[in-house]
Structure 1
Amino acid sequence: MELVVESVWEKITQQQSIPNYNNQPQRRIFIHLDYILSDENQDQVDNYQQQIEDLWHQSLGGVIKFQYWIASSEKQVEIIVYPVCLHYARRAKYLTAFGTDPFGNFGWHNYRLDRIVSEQLTILKWGNSQIPKKLSTVVFIWVDHSRGDSRLRSIP
């Protein structure tokens, strides 16, 4: 991005005759960029989505484990969460999940699917010793829209 802005700025400032803009409103440059994934990355994101949807079709579901890239700290961390929903925002697919984030905060978190660096998601069945105790004792409200009922369900 910096390279693009510098290039545009050089072209503007290198003009032979620069008009006097003192009496005119300030000029601004607006650059609109779209974040587009490569075909390979898009296929991988679609694969993660399919794995999560397949998990949701199982009667008890489960927890997922994956390696995740944190751009702000430029490090890779292990994530273990209960996947709740997928959504599309700001031109990217996100997973909303319940669990502990890389900073130790327990609760709801969003993860960009294109920042998952694992080749495959690891599905952990309820009762697996890798599932953090705090996550394994959460009580969920189970909603079955096909039957029109909802009930508290402790998993496992």
Structure 2
Amino acid sequence: MTSELSFIVSQVPVEETYPLRAKVLRNGGPPEAAKLAGDDRPGVATFAATDDEGRMIGCIGLFPEPCPDLPEHPGKGWRIRGMATEDEWRSRGVGTQVLKAALEHVAAEGGGLVWCNARTRAADFYRRAGFQEIGEPWDDPEIGPHVRMWREV
């Protein structure tokens, strides 16, 4: 394996992210297990990182949706959903770059408030990207402990 990391990030159809999302976020379930309500709504943007061989190694979904904890925020609300990175690519910049693509998309759309229900083990990643916690952590019975986080763009 080469020491140089090489991947590209681009906007992709949401369906292309289902296998990776299912593998990472749904305990290796079938791709259809990764379909989220609203994936097909207008304005949803999905980005993916692919390696030199064209394999998807990271992805993120961005949904136009106001934050329930900050309903009076003057900007448009954008929710991050379905963010996933292949295990062997974690801590190598993939998540940072797909998040950057999503935030650049929000900026190009006029900015606003970006938020997510982050798995607590990912909270430090989001903090490094300028997100802050809002509200109390909770435990989702199907997918584990979470905390809501947000930032402005």
Which category of TM-score, normalised to the shorter sequence, fits these structures?
A: under 0.3
- Specify which structure has the bigger relative contact order, considering alpha-carbon pairs within 8 angstroms and separated by 6 or more residues: 2
Return the index of the structure with the highest Cα Rg.
Answer: 1
